[in-house]
Structure 1
Amino acid sequence: MFLKVEKVRFGVIGLKGIGMTHIEAIKKCESAELLAVCDIVEELAKSIGEKYGVKWFTDYRELITLKDLDAVCVCTPHFLHHPMTLDALNASKHVLVEKPMAITVREADEMIEEAKARGLKLGVAFTYRTNPALKSVKSMVEREELGKLLRATLEVANYRTQLYYEDSPWRKNWKTSGAGVLINQTIHHLDVMCWLLGKPKRVAGFIDTKLHNIEVEDLASAALVFKNNCHATVQVSLVDNPQFDRMVVSGTKGKVILDFGSQLRIGISEPDVETHIRTSKEPWSRPKASWREVNVEGRGGHSEIIRDFTEAVKYGKKPLASGEDGIWSLEIVNAIVLSNFTGKIVDIPVDREDYDRLMDKLKSGLKLL
């Protein structure tokens, strides 16, 4: 299904925080038009609607009935992504949903299936995919400049205060957030990991709540194996200061160190390690190694996500991060949580029934960190 229109007409649901970023991105996009906004806080919905001269609502179910509306951006707390997306799809609207696309993989399955059945576009706002530096790494991987991928490490050392959670209490709980640092912050980085390495296969994970008064985790560690047999380790937290994000991707021909900003450090092995290991005549020799620093201008962001999604809607293209793409980082999050509470390695796809049973216990407080 595609639209023969000059501009894709959007409605934005959820106006606190990231919803305003979507609005600004829509306003900057020549192929997009803001048609309506919605928030349960009437004063906020009214003020934003009047500011931009568009229709405003306090009930999203009224917004999605607009006949001239083409697509909606779902920018609400995590637990609302699934029902709101399904309702919008049922109303024949294309949907761009904020990360994470859902709380559980079963919910994500249902969203993907509904979009497919109705011939509608379902995109996930994974903005890191628009980062020029990360796109250059993606190209390196596709051109096999790093050779056969062997391993990767991801470290997300972030920080949040208790007030961060008190200001938006839904972030504190399993029922409304679905997890902590893994699903709220690290989901972006895990999406990049899947984008570069492919689909995950097995996961062993540990989570903990160290310093915050919350139900969900503020620290997590995991070991993963991907379907291409690349190994990966993940360590993430919201109790680190100074802060930094870093990912290393290593292959037989070299490695790249990225900071999720504009800096890349690229290392090249000559010859590649696979050849050298097999042919070297010296027991302690190493192949020649060289490093170079690369600065890639630009940061990407929601403007590029909106532009890409409008093209997907207008021309029937696949979104930069489709629902089928977005589910894999959620598979990892669910697998880490399930592994922590079962003490077992978890195969991906995650067993939907096992995870739903665990979530029922977490939501009811029968299981605690």
Structure 2
Amino acid sequence: MNNTVKFGIVGTGAIARYHAAAIKLHSEAELVAVCGITIEKAEEFAEGDTSIRLYDDYAKMLELAEIDVICVCTPSGMHGDGVVLAAHAGKHVLCEKPLEVTAERMTAMIRACRSRNVKLGCVFQRRLMPAMLHTRQALLDGKIGRPVMGNAYLKYYRSPEYYQSGGWRGTRALDGGGALMNQGVHGVDLLQYMMGDVASVFAYCPTLARDIEVEDTAVITLKFKSGALGVIQGATSVYPGQETRFELHGDRGTIEFGDEGFKQWKFMDSDEPAPVFEDTLGFGSTSSSAQQLPVAGHYYYINDMVEVVRTGREPHVNGEEARKSVDLILAAYESARTGKEIELA
């Protein structure tokens, strides 16, 4: 497999297994190295595959010349170190969401990759949803007229046991936040991707139901740079968890969709029917559970990085694009802390 793009993975948790499975499915990708907290963790992750080199020292793994791309699958607040070290070793990077949990670290990551001429990509599977792709094209085509409102409802259930299952979950240092930064970041990214950049936010981000350091319930009001307004509701405190849903309103139409497809697709002076598709998430499955995302979502981003290495183009979601959702969430946290409207740079 000398012509394959070779990947290394740092981190051996649940999300790293999606990366590994996607790499193994790709005919032009090869998993050659894994780094865990201990060699035992790396061995367990490799499941007896003797072709994978095992490490408990990330710096040592980065010395492996054949690695083209590092998948950073560590806790969120450790992404920055993993990316910067990979960049200095001359490796391209595919980072799990969120890009990081502070603005300073995101800036350092992007600068390190740009200065070393390596590419930085980030995983946002919901950008593959057929409903989102149709909606974004409809917005670009002006079908809803002038956008006036864009809303996202990101209400999940996470049990006390979920937060107890990993020492980093629900902590400011390593999780960076709660319902917004961990679970809601996909929806925050999607709303901005469709509606455009946000000018300012005002937010409430309390902890109402879980014994954690960060928010389990949040409401953000948005002012987009276009002048449109919006709302984001995010939670891990509601039972049962609700379907992730987006509403986009204009002066000539409305589009509403969720994990199960379109709810509304209505334009002035038009009887155009809503697009219909069986695979509502775009991941090769009809499952709507955000906790059971199939490997296909990660396969897309592994394939993206294979093409990045081969062609030198930018990743589908590069560092500058990936940081937008985190910058918005950090502004929401500042607003909740200060009780003020916060403008985004």
Q: TM-score, normalized by length of structure 1? A: 0.85
Instruction: Flag structure 1 segments of 5+ consecutive residues without an equivalent.
Output: 272-288, 350-369
The offset of 1:293, in angstroms, is 4.5
Q: 1:105 aligns with which of 81, 89, 103?
A: 103
The offset of 1:224, in angstroms, is 0.8
Superposed counterparts of 1:151-230, under 5 Å: 151-230=149-228
Figure out how many residues of one structure are paired with residues of the other and give that number: 327
1:323 matched to 2:319? The reply is yes
Give distance in 2, aligned partners of 1:120 and 1:232: 36
Q: Deviations over 1:39-92 (max 9, x none)?
A: 103222013335333101112111111101101000010111011110000100
> Match of 1:330, SS?
helix
| Residue in 2 that maps onto 1:246 | 245
The offset of 1:318, in angstroms, is 1.6
The offset of 1:180, in angstroms, is 0.7
| Residue in 1 that maps onto 2:291 | none
Give distance in 1, aligned partners of 2:34 and 2:46: 6
1:290 to 1:69, Cα distance in 2 relative to 1, 3 A: same
Which structure: greater helix fraction? 1
| Residue in 2 that maps onto 1:84 | 82
| Residue in 1 that maps onto 2:292 | none
- 1:258 is matched by which residue type in structure 2? F
- 2:313 is matched by which residue type in structure 1? K
- 2:57 is matched by which residue type in structure 1? D
1:66 matched to 2:64? The reply is yes
The offset of 1:242, in angstroms, is 2.5
Give distance in 2, aligned partners of 1:249 and 1:63: 46
CA radius of gyration, larger in: 1
Superposed counterparts of 1:204-353, under 5 Å: 204-244=202-242, 245-259=244-258, 261-271=259-269, 292-298=273-279, 299-300=282-283, 301-349=297-345
Give distance in 2, aligned partners of 1:84 and 1:47: 21
- 1:321 is matched by which residue type in structure 2? V
The farther-off stretch of 215-224 and 238-247 is 238-247
Give distance in 2, aligned partners of 1:50 and 1:166: 26
| Residue in 2 that maps onto 1:95 | 93
Give distance in 2, aligned partners of 1:137 and 1:312: 27
CA contact (8 A) 2:144 2:267 kept: no
CA contact (8 A) 1:254 1:266 kept: no
1:33 matched to 2:30? The reply is yes
Instruction: Flag structure 2 segments of 5+ consecutive residues without an equivalent.
Output: 284-296
Give distance in 2, aligned partners of 1:270 and 1:212: 45
Give distance in 2, aligned partners of 1:304 and 1:246: 23
Q: TM-score, normalized by length of structure 2? A: 0.91
The farther-off stretch of 243-252 and 329-338 is 243-252
The offset of 1:156, in angstroms, is 1.2
CA contact (8 A) 2:151 2:191 kept: no
Give distance in 1, aligned partners of 2:216 and 2:245: 18
Q: Deviations over 1:226-280 (max 9, x none)?
A: 1112211011111112222111011233111111x25113432324xxxxxxxxx
- 1:268 is matched by which residue type in structure 2? K
The percent of aligned pairs where both chains have the same amino acid is 30
The alignment's C-alpha RMSD in Å is 1.6
1:251 to 1:239, Cα distance in 2 relative to 1, 3 A: same
| Residue in 1 that maps onto 2:288 | none
